[in-house]
Amino acid sequence: MRLVLVGAPASGKGTQANVLSEKFGVPKISTGDMLREARKAGTKLGREAEGYMNAGKLVPDEVVIGLVDERLEQPDAAKGFILDGFPRTVAQAEALAGLLERRGVTLDAVVQLDVDRELLMERATLRRTDKRTGQIYHLKYNPPPPDADLDHRADDREETVAARLDQYDAMTAALLPHYEQQGLLRRIDGVGAPEQVTERLLAALGQKVG
Ligand code: AMP
């Protein structure tokens, strides 16, 4: 299974990528996670990316393309992968096609999770992570226990989320037609319980649910 998941910030694509990764036994490759790790570790790359990330801007194409190229070299990616948050631009999509061609493989599908903007805004601004367990909560729909040690992602604050959503709209305006032309694009409704969304995803991929 070689899949790209496309979805706005807080659309649930990270959650769905985890579920699919487990189901198909292939790694989830998230450029956002890799960049956050690099930033936390304080590497040169992390320091370079930090300013862009905190402002909700895209990290330059060559940086993320290099990260994905290296990650695809790992043995666990030989069977397939779920790409989460990459590609985000047509230039990245073209670079990805080149990286896959070099390895003699192709994408199976590109799935877009569709969620309207108002709900995305609410999901992101009320999203909190427990620093100790990594568990993700929502202050309204999935409240954390009283003893959780909560973190609010710097880029989940209202002004930054608005900038990230604007940028997502601009990005998909070019990226989705690119994949539609290739016959790879599937759009699914991303509103509902995570399990419901997983069912729709598997149906869109022509997989048996369950
Ligand atoms: P995410 O967790 O996917 O929302 O990514 C968090 C941040 O990392 C984004 O707002 C960008 O600054 C950066 N980032 C992640 N993936 C990419 C990408 N494919 N291209 C450029 N920047 C990215």
* 157 CA → ligand 1 middle, Å: 15
The structure tokens listed for 153 are 């992602």
Q: Please report whether residue 195 resides in a domain.
A: yes
Q: Which atom of ligand 1 has the smallest separation from the CA of 88?
A: 19
- Whether 183 maps to a domain, the answer reads yes
| Mean pLDDT computed over every residue of the chain | 92
Residue 210 confidence (pLDDT) above 50: no
* Predicted confidence (pLDDT) per residue in 46-99, tens digit: 999 999 988 878 899 999 999 999 999 999 999 999 999 999 999 999 999 999
- Count: domains in the chain: 1
Task: Look up the domain containing 80 and give its range.
Answer: 2-27+74-204
Query: In this structure, are residues 31 and 12 in contact, taking their beta carbons and an 8 Å threshold?
Result: no
In a domain, 68, yes or no: no
Q: Which two tokens stand for residue 34?
A: 């890799």
- Whether residue 90 contacts residue 178, with contact meaning beta carbons closer than 8 Å, is answered with yes
Per residue in 116-139, pLDDT (tens digit) is 999 999 988 998 989 998 888 889
Residues 99, 39: Cα–Cα separation, whole Å? 25
Contact 60, 8 (CB under 8 A): no
Q: Tell me whether residue 106 is in a domain.
A: yes
- Region 152-179 average pLDDT: 89
Note whether residue 125 is domain-resident: yes
Q: Whose CA is nearest to atom 12 of ligand 1?
A: 53
* 67 falls within a domain: no
- Of 95 and 193, more confident: 95
Atom of ligand 1 nearest to the CA of 87: 19
7 lines ligand 1 (CB under 6 A): no
Q: For the residues 23-52, what does the mean pLDDT come to?
A: 93
CA 187 to chain centre: 15
Looking up residue 164, the CATH number of its domain turns out to be: 3.40.50.300
Q: Using CB atoms within 10 Å of the CB of residue 35, give its burial: 0 to 12 exposed, 13 to 18 middle, 19+ buried.
A: buried
Residue with CA at minimum distance from ligand 1 atom 19: 86
83 part of a folded domain: yes
Q: Is residue 56 part of a domain?
A: no
